[in-house]
Amino acid sequence: IFAAVEMAPRDPILGLNEAFNADTNPNKVNLGVGVYFGDDGKIPLLAAVKTAEKARLETQPARGYQPIEGIPAYNNAVQNLLFGKDSELLAAGRAITCECLGGTGALKVGADYLKRLLPEAKVYISDPSWENHRALFESAGFTVENYAYYDAATRGVNFAGMKAALAAMPAKSVVVLHACCHNPTGADLSAAQWKEVVELVKQRDLVAFIDMAYQGFADGIKPDAVALDLFAASGLQFVVSSSFSKSFSLYGERVGALTIVTAGKDESARVLSQVKRVIRTNYSNPPTHGGAVVAAVLSSPELRQQWEDELAGMRERIRAMRNSLVDKLAAAGATGFDFIKVQRGMFSYTGLTAEQVEKLRAEFGIYAVSTGRICVAALNTRNIDYVAKAIAAVLKK
Ligand code: LMR
């Protein structure tokens, strides 16, 4: 039965890990996948996480099945982080949250649910968007189209183009928005622009699906949630996928959440019952460990503070690497990269072509996404000179 099966292409992001792991170049650097590494080149285990994990494992908790939607302590913690604990929306019972398998899992559960609810809708993603968005929504059965977003000339957002695209979308279209730290470009909307987007979503009767995988990596937990605040204040119904992979450095634990904002409590109960069916027929219920650890950190004032401090440390180190990369590129003869300093989040959309990215890999063992996206959070004081010189070299050829 498998004789005619064709080889599928490698995943554009995770496939780079496979190639990187197989590479024997001792100088190799992986700037492909969006993972934060410390200056020592290792994925950090946050101190707040370590404390919460230790306390949890000491109790030797039983491993029974979790509720289909995950535990209330986790789901409440997610909601408080997204909307603030004094949120009116939360007090009114307008949000339901399910623990999902990372941000990707949340997107897929949300996509599967929306496909059942709005079978005729089209999904619109930014041009460009996270490499997996299109495939994920297509795998849920949607037709996926782009909306204008990035302006390569200004290295910023083509906001006029984005607004025109939103204004032309049919009612009930699903529009996928990046809350902050746009992946891959690092070009975000301002608060004033978000206001206009919310207004257009309302006018056009669109369904916003807000992907929030990097809360805390631009300016901090609260400022990075400005889009959510504005959507919350609008009275609209919308969907949010969020993730603790990056902010808690818990990539492999797959800790994410799907949150759906409804018109009220009664609607919330009905929507939750339907989302639970989607989850039950997919993976049944989420795993125990990661969600419990995140809930423990977020519900302890001391651990939460420690976590926010550690998150700020990651954010500041990324900024330092951005500044240093620009300076080192200039010193190596590659000027015009100042935009790297203002891009937000883990990534830099460098403008390198697919051929230049391929040269970086073949000649230097430096891995980046073929679109020219590099993960700045994987640079450190030991590899940055090598990377800057390599980029300058491939630009000269
Ligand atoms: C990325 O964009 O590199 C990350 O979000 C990891 C992933 O799952 O692709």
Mean predicted confidence (pLDDT) in 369-387: 97
Full residue range of the structural domain in which residue 392 is found: 14-45+303-396
pLDDT of residue 32: 95
Domain boundary among 254, 287, 320: 287
Q: Distance between CA 32 and CA 15 in Å, rounded?
A: 9
Catalytic residue list contains 211: yes
Could you tell me if 39 and 139 lie in one domain?
no
* Mutate-to-test residue for ligand 1 from 18, 35, 130, highest number of ligand atoms within 8 A of CB: 130
d(CA 300, CA 306): 10
pLDDT at site 89: 96
* Residue 9 domain-assigned (yes or no): no
Catalytic residue list contains 276: no
Q: Taking 80 as the threshold, does the pLDDT of residue 361 lie above it?
A: yes
Distance between CA atoms of 25 and 124, rounded to whole angstroms? 40
pLDDT single digits (tens) 43-90: 999 999 999 999 999 999 999 999 999 999 999 999 999 999 999 999
Please count the structural domains in the chain.
2
246 in active site: yes
Look up the CATH number of the domain holding residue 366: 3.90.1150.10
> pLDDT-derived band of residue 21, with 50, 70 and 90 as boundaries?
very high
- Secondary structure, 3-state, the chain: CCCCCCCCCCCCCHHHHHHHHHCCCCCCEECCCCCCCCCCCCCCCCHHHHHHHHHHHHCCCCCCCCCCCCCHHHHHHHHHHHHCCCCHHHHCCCEEEEEEEHHHHHHHHHHHHHHHHCCCCCEEEEECCCHHHHHHHHHCCCCEEEEECEECCCCEECHHHHHHHHHHCCCCCEEEEECCCCCCCCCCCCHHHHHHHHHHHHHHCCEEEEEECCCCCCCCCCHHHHHHHHHHHHCCCEEEEEECCCCCCCHHHCEEEEEEECCCHHHHHHHHHHHHHHHHCCCCCCCCHHHHHHHHHHHCHHHHHHHHHHHHHHHHHHHHHHHHHHHHHHHCCCCCCCHHHHCCCCEEECCCCHHHHHHHHHHHCEECCCCCEEEHHHCCCCCHHHHHHHHHHHHHC
pLDDT digits (tens, 9 = 90+) for 286-309: 999 999 999 999 999 999 999 999
Same domain, yes or no, for 166 and 236? yes
pTM: 0.96
Which residue's CA is the closest to the ligand 1 atom numbered 4?
34
358 and 391 share a domain? yes
Same structural domain, 21 and 83: no
Residues 321-341 have pLDDT tens digits of 999 999 999 999 999 999 999
Q: State which of 287, 322, 355 marks the end of a domain.
A: 287
The answer to whether residue 32 sits within a structural domain is yes
Q: Check if the interface score ipTM surpasses 0.90.
A: yes
Ligand 1 atom showing the smallest separation from residue 184 Cα: 2
26 and 112 assigned to the same domain: no
Q: For the chain, what is the mean pLDDT? A: 97
State mean pLDDT over 239-245.
98
User: For position 189, what pLDDT does the model report?
Assistant: 97
- Domain shared by 164 and 237, yes or no: yes
pLDDT digits (tens, 9 = 90+) for 147-197: 999 999 999 999 999 999 999 999 999 999 999 999 999 999 999 999 999
CA distance 369 to 31: 8
Same structural domain, 30 and 127? no
Ligand 1: distance of its center to the CA of 145 in Å?
20
pLDDT of 397 higher than 90: no
Question: 170 and 253 share a domain?
Answer: yes
Q: Which of 233, 258, 287 is the last residue of a domain?
A: 287
